[in-house]
Amino acid sequence: MTTTTGTGQPVRTIAFVAYPGFTMLDMGGPLQVCSALADTVPGFRTVVLGERIEPMGTDTPLSVVPSHTFDEVPDPDVLVVPGGLVPTIAAMADETLLARLRRAAAGASVVASVCTGSLLLAAAGLLEGRKAATHWLFRDMLVPFGATPVADRWVEDGRYVTAAGVSAGIDMALHLVGRLAGEDTARQVQLLIEYDPKPPFGAIDWAAADAARYEPFVKQALTEALAGHPELFARLGG
């Protein structure tokens, strides 16, 4: 969706999708990055879309209120979908939300996701034949929808840009700013938000990450989320 300012300058809309129970940092990190872009460079605005403009719970004690409804911004230029755990898996069976994603994605120049948000894009039929990233515990769940899981911080496949788990959304969003406004602008945004991570315990040792250890956790999440949807439960390996 491209609007105009009072001076007639076109404004590109970057829309974030809110739904009950999403992971706060999945949205908050990229939203901060894209809001800094909008504050720095004329011609961009950020919005948060929901079914209704009312408080919506997240996976933290903090609730959010969307700035607009899907009907108010049906054709964003950029669409960003955050992930989550049980609520996100359950949303894979929410045809109303999936239809909203298909509609918003249809005319978008970029469709992005963070963490298990890519599972929602996959369930909406938008990632078939594409490479995609998601949280490392849920990569295999992309396969039944025709996507190819990639174990990268973020991956770009045409107009689709998908990030790995939670904090990876910040990296993806900075890449997105570079794509939209150039590397110099992305570096400026990175400086403004002082994104220079130095984890106190060092980088993750991926070789020691034991997915099998978390299989009961994943199975329980699937069971809880898809109790009323046995076909989808089976499709995801439940």
CA dist 1 and 107 (Å) reads: 8
CA dist 7 and 158 (Å) reads: 33
Sequence-separated (6 or more) residues with CB below 8 Å from residue 163: 112, 113, 114, 115, 133, 153, 154, 169, 171, 172
* Catalytic residue check, 115: yes
Q: Which of 78, 115, 141, 174 is catalytic?
A: 115
CA dist 60 and 94 (Å) reads: 22
CA 234 to chain centre: 24
Which positions are annotated as active-site residues?
115
